[in-house]
């Protein structure tokens, strides 16, 4: 891809009008990979909804129980580059299955944890395969898809994460509240095992890259564009978490909705994420750089709009859907990292989810600071606008540096 121009849209493959869905083997492979996203998304967020039950179960306070969420996020940040680098020499299907087996074990240990300390350790272990799975799954999806449809295939993998917010998280939360929080983690174990079996059966086997080594994968960390892409996601993606982390008091205290309505509104947010995910694949295939700029601008506009519409229950719910739809950044950043990582593809792709877990921590922290300062429930939305604009600025700097480097390389080649 030329860094100075958007690629022209490629013609649809001859397999049919359905694009990535027209070839049955590709459809089933993407479904298997997306099932892993569904399992991970359900498990990651369900712990937040079950904190009171978890706190009671291991005899700690609710704020202390919140550390199990932090332990998982730290596991994601640490595990993504380490496991992706160490597993780069394995066949990708084998690595995906191994990661899902590890994820199943981490959740089984969570369900069986006899104490708070053991639960924190188990959640850290469960977080380790998260980012590496998504990174490798994205690479497999892109390899299987024809030219011009690669971002769409990657978006289908990430679709499992979006659907989890609509279906998986509410159901798992109900399951945990009704039958005990350990049942929710046991269900996650079953989902992870089902994913491992599905990947083994539906994803075509391909030989390993024998030239891949952990040392070669680490070369991704020497590339400024990789760090700029991570910063783009960690800062630009923080806006969502600045608002999402405090969505319950925003909806109840500002919009005037009943507490019982909050899960339904979060499902509306999830529906917007699904719609945005489906749209993002097409846009990123068509014009990736312009689509990324548009995604950042869309987020900034919608977060700013929410500062006003959140005062009314009807307009708040409508805006929540478009907030979810505006979040097209994960697909674009995934493709960006795969583009700029060079031959360190596995580690580069896995860094996407490290970036978004850093965004989670940053957004929630900044949102909490402005609320603690007494600036009101619209303050996190202002933070979200600022983070979206900052992410856009970093992305534009990265593009400018890329174009300058391409221009310098062209000048040298003409000498």
Structure tokens at 189: 């174990």
Whole-number Å distance between alpha carbons of 262 and 258: 7
The packing angle between helices 379-414 and 288-309, to 10°, is 170
Residue 20: pLDDT band (50, 70, 90) is: very low
Assess if residue 18 is contained within a domain: no
Q: Are residues 72 and 87 in the same domain?
A: yes
Higher-confidence position of 106 and 68: 106
Check if the beta carbon of residue 136 is closer than 8 Å to that of residue 99: yes
Q: Is the pLDDT of residue 17 over 70?
A: no
Domain boundary among 175, 209, 243: 209
Instruction: Please check the confidence at residue 229 and state whether its pLDDT lies above 50.
Output: yes
Residues 6+ apart with CB under 8 A from 327: 240, 272, 273, 276, 295, 299
* Helix/strand/coil for 12: coil
Q: Is the pLDDT of residue 22 over 70?
A: no
What is the full DSSP assignment across 367-409? HHHHHHTT--TTHHHHHHHHHHHHHHHHHHHHHHHHHHHHHHH
What pLDDT band is residue 407 in, cutting at 50, 70 and 90?
low
323 domain residue, yes or no: yes
Residue 62 and residue 27 share a domain: yes
More confidently predicted of 63 and 166: 166
- What's the chain's average pLDDT? 85
Q: What is the pLDDT of residues 230-277, one digit of tens each?
A: 999 999 999 988 888 788 889 989 999 987 888 788 889 889 988 988
User: Domain of 401?
Assistant: 213-410
For residue range 346-356, what is the model confidence (pLDDT) as tens digits? 888 888 888 88
pLDDT at 340 > cutoff 50:
yes
Residues 202 and 260 in one domain: no
Q: For the chain, how many structural domains are there in total?
A: 2
- The pLDDT score that the predictor gives to residue 106 is 96
Nearest C-alpha neighbor of 329 from the set 287, 288, 296, 374: 296
Q: What percent of the chain has pLDDT over 90?
A: 40
Over range 8-23, report the average pLDDT: 41
Calculate the dihedral angle through the C-alpha atoms of 184, 188, 191, 197, rounding to the nearest 10 degrees. -140
Residues 199, 276, single domain; the answer is no
In this structure, the answer to whether residues 240 and 184 fall within a common structural domain is: no
Residues in the chain: 415
Say if residue 265 is in the same domain as residue 390.
Answer: yes
- Based on the domain organization, do 262 and 328 belong to the same domain? yes
Instruction: State the average pLDDT over residues 221-232.
Output: 92
Domain termination residue (choose one: 184, 209, 234): 209
Q: What are phi and psi of 341, to 5 degrees?
A: -80, -10
Last residue of a domain, one of 209, 228, 249: 209
Residues 156, 244: one domain?
Answer: no
Residue 151: give its domain's CATH number: 1.20.1250.20
- How far is residue 207 CA from its own chain's centroid? 27
């Amino acid at each position: 891809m030329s860094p100075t121009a958007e690629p022209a849209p490629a013609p649809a493959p001859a397999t049919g009008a359905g694009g990535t869905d027209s070839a049955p083997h590709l459809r089933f492979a993407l479904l298997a990979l997306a099932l892993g996203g569904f399992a991970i998304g359900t498990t990651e967020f369900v712990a937040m909804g079950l904190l009171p039950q978890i706190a009671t179960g291991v005899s700690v306070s609710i704020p202390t129980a919140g550390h199990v969420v932090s332990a998982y996020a730290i596991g994601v940040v640490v595990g993504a580059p380490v496991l992706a680098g160490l597993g780069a020499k394995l066949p990708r299907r084998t690595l995906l299955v191994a990661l899902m087996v590890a994820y199943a074990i981490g959740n089984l240990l969570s369900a069986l944890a006899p104490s708070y300390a053991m639960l924190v350790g188990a959640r850290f272990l469960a977080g380790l395969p998260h980012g590496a799975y998504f990174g490798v799954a994205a690479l497999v999806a892109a390899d299987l898809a024809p030219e011009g449809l690669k971002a769409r295939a990657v978006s289908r993998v990430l679709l499992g994460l979006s659907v989890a917010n609509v279906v998986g998280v509410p159901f798992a939360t109900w399951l945990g509240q009704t039958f005990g929080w350990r049942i929710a983690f046991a269900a996650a174990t079953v989902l992870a095992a089902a994913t491992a079996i599905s990947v083994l059966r539906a994803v075509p086997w391909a030989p390993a890259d024998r030239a891949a080594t952990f040392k070669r994968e680490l070369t991704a960390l020497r590339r400024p564009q990789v760090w700029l892409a991570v910063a783009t996601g960690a800062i630009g993606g923080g806006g969502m978490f600045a608002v999402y982390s405090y969505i319950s008091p925003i909806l109840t205290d500002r919009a005037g909705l009943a507490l019982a309505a909050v899960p339904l509104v979060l499902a509306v947010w999830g529906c917007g994420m699904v719609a945005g995910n489906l749209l993002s694949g097409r846009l990123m295939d068509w014009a990736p750089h312009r689509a990324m700029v548009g995604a950042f601008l869309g987020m900034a506009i919608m977060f700013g709009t929410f500062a006003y519409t959140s005062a009314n229950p009807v307009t708040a719910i409508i805006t929540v859907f478009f907030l979810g739809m505006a979040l097209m950044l994960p697909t674009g950043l995934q493709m960006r990292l795969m583009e700029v990582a060079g031959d360190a593809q596995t580690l580069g792709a896995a860094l996407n989810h490290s970036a978004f877990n850093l965004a989670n921590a940053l957004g929630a922290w900044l949102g909490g600071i402005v609320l603690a300062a007494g600036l009101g429930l619209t303050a996190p939305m202002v933070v979200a606008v600022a983070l979206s604009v900052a992410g856009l600025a970093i992305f534009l700097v990265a593009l400018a540096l890329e174009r300058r480097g391409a221009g310098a390389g062209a000048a040298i080649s003409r000498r």
